[in-house]
């Protein structure tokens, strides 16, 4: 794999760390600014909103620029947002810094996915995407636990300074290692937006939002599920999350390799396995051993879908792959927010802490249904093209 992918992975590590580490620092942030825990939790929602809005918008506006220039600019924006967060003297300023950093998130993964795919031969594009997203998985395995521990020991601001340093490292890597390319042919906001006239692009976004919505419907509530249902001590949850993160790492690489061989069959398989794991988790959550095994499988199945989902939207958005890819990152975040909301709604209505699992399984099944429909449309189109291009005798034979 090209060494430039390492620079993209380091940047992804920094971005993934700043997105999720705030979850472990909510008590410290709330105490510092004198706000409630739910109010501090809005820093997570604000970040997600920044990703959803900023990713497609900044990608579209930068359509005429060379992609390396866009990546460098986005990492600069990310660094500025985290520095602003580290220096924030009020809750409102911290929220502003979070949103500024989030604006770079979706656009970086959108443009970075196209750059990563272009660095390798066509038959290795999904593996290249998985390599870049390895940084995101390692953020969950290492970045978030270490960042949380640092913030708890030295204050939450130290975590944002550490993420800022990681951002600088990623920026230097992008400048030094990512090859300079010309701007994408065509360009212009109108041409970029035209990609959303393609029905298959919308289907790809829908399967992402639904499939990953299933992941976060369950994962968001894994801590109370493990302590209140499985009976684990609170201190054990960190190690369970590390186990989940290791599963993410394995699943990410597995998904990339499988998608390079057969994209849609891999997507069908991983979504089906993910749904099965989530439904099973409803029952195994009552057992500590069952929970451990299921969490590992959950991590593998959950992130095995990422590279295939990102690759699917790239293949269907040839006219503006960067914008569609950024929109797909936004779809991931919409799925995260929607899945977490539905899971919380079930708990609030007294359905228990295991209810998010079967809700997540149902969302994933819906994503699988969209994927199957999308694949059926592909097969129908290929059959039509084949018939139209065949001889009259062959056409009649069909």
Query: Which tens digits make up the pLDDT trace of 203-259?
Result: 999 999 998 889 888 887 887 888 889 988 877 877 887 888 888 888 888 888 888
R_g of the chain computed on alpha carbons: 21
Both tokens of residue 246?
């290791």
- pLDDT(388) > 60: no
Residue 182 — pLDDT band, cuts 50, 70, 90? low
Q: What is the mean pLDDT of the chain?
A: 84
Residues 161-171, mean pLDDT to the nearest whole number: 95
Give 297's pLDDT tier (boundaries 50, 70, 90).
very high
Pick from 9-13, 261-265, 284-288, 390-394: least confident: 390-394
The token duo for 3 is 């060494």
Render pLDDT for 336-387 as a digit per residue (tens, 0 to 9). Answer: 778 878 888 888 888 888 998 999 999 999 999 999 999 998 887 666 655 5
Mean pLDDT along residues 109-135: 81
pLDDT given at position 306: 85
319 or 32: which carries more pLDDT confidence? 32
Please answer whether residues 243 and 299 qualify as being in contact, where contact means their C-beta atoms are separated by less than 8 angstroms.
yes
Q: What are phi and psi of 120, to 5 degrees?
A: -130, 170
Predicted local confidence at residue 183, as pLDDT: 59
On the question of pLDDT at 59 being above 90, the answer is no
Secondary structure of residue 299 in the 3-state scheme: helix
Tokens 């960190």 correspond to: 238
Position 397 scores a pLDDT of 33
Give the least confident one: 48-52, 74-78, 292-296, 351-355. 48-52
pLDDT at 332 over 80: yes
Measured in Å, how far apart are the chain's first and last C-alpha atoms? 43
* Mean pLDDT computed over 8-32: 86
Q: Does residue 280 carry a pLDDT above 90?
A: yes
pLDDT for the residue 391: 44
In sequence order, what are the residues at sequence separation of 6 or more whose Cβ sits closer than 8 angstroms to the Cβ of residue 336?
48, 212, 213, 215, 216
- Please give the helix or strand (H or E) that residue 353 lies within, else none: none
What residues contact 1, with CB distance under 8 A and at least 6 apart? 120, 124, 127, 128, 131
Asked which of 302-311, 322-331, 367-376 is least confident by mean pLDDT, the reply is 322-331
Model pTM score: 0.76
For residue 121, the 8-state DSSP code is: -
Question: What share of the chain in percent tops pLDDT 90?
Answer: 31
Residue 261 burial (CB < 10 Å; 0-12/13-18/19+)? exposed
Give the whole-angstrom CA distance, residue 374 versus residue 354: 31
Q: What is the dihedral of CA 23, 152, 9, 307, to 10 degrees?
A: -30
Residue closest to 310 by CA, chosen among 205, 199, 219, 216: 205
Cβ contacts of residue 237 below 8 Å, gap of 6+? 222, 223, 226, 227
Alpha helices (runs of H) in 88-155, residue ranges in sequence order: 91-118, 125-138, 144-154
How far apart are alpha carbons 175 and 165 in whole angstroms? Answer: 15
Report the alpha-carbon distance of residue 185 to residue 250 in Å, rounded: 36
pLDDT for residue 396 is more than 60: no
> Does the structure show a pLDDT above 80 at 155?
yes
Candidates 105, 110, 133; CA nearest to 49 is 105
Supply the pLDDT for residue 37: 67
Are the beta carbons of 144 and 322 closer than 8 angstroms? no
Predicted confidence (pLDDT) at residue 199 exceeds the cutoff of 50: yes
Length of the chain in terms of residues written = 398
């Amino acid at each position: 794999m090209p060494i430039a992918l390492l620079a993209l992975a380091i940047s992804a590590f920094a971005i993934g760390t700043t997105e999720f580490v705030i979850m472990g620092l909510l008590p410290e942030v709330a105490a510092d600014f004198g706000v409630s825990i739910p109010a501090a939790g809005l820093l997570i929602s604000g970040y997600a909103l920044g990703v959803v809005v900023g990713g497609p918008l900044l990608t579209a506006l930068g359509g005429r620029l060379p992609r390396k220039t866009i990546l460098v600019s986005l990492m600069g924006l990310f660094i500025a947002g985290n520095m602003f967060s580290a220096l924030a003297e009020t809750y409102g300023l911290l929220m502003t810094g979070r949103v500024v950093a989030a604006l770079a998130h979706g656009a970086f993964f959108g443009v970075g996915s196209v750059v990563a795919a272009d660095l390798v031969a066509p038959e290795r594009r999904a593996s290249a995407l998985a390599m870049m997203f390895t940084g995101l998985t390692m953020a969950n395995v290492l970045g978030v636990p270490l960042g949380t521990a640092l913030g708890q020991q030295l204050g939450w601001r130290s975590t944002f300074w550490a993420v800022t340093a990681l951002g600088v490292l990623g920026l230097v890597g992008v400048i030094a290692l990512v090859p300079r390319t010309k701007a994408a042919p065509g360009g212009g906001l109108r041409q970029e937006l035209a990609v959303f006239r393609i029905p298959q692009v919308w289907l790809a976004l829908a399967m992402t939002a639904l499939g990953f919505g299933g992941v976060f419907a369950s994962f968001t509530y894994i801590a109370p599920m493990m302590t209140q249902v499985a009976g684990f001590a609170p201190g054990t949850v960190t190690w369970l999350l590390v186990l989940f993160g290791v599963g993410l790492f394995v699943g990410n690489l597995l998904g990339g390799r499988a998608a390079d061989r057969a994209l849609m069959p891999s997507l069908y398989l991983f979504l089906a396995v993910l749904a099965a794991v989530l439904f099973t988790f409803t029952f195994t959550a009552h057992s500590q051993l069952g929970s451990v095994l299921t969490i590992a499988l959950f991590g593998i199945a959950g992130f095995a879908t990422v590279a295939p989902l990102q690759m699917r939207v790239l293949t269907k958005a040839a006219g503006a792959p960067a914008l569609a890819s950024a929109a797909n990152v936004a779809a991931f975040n919409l799925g995260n927010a929607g899945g977490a909301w539905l899971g919380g709604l079930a708990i609030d209505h007294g359905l228990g802490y295991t209810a998010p699992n079967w809700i997540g399984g149902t969302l994933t099944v819906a994503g699988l249904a969209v994927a199957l429909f999308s694949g059926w449309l592909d097969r129908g189109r290929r059959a039509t093209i084949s018939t139209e291009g065949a001889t009259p005798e062959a056409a009649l034979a069909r």
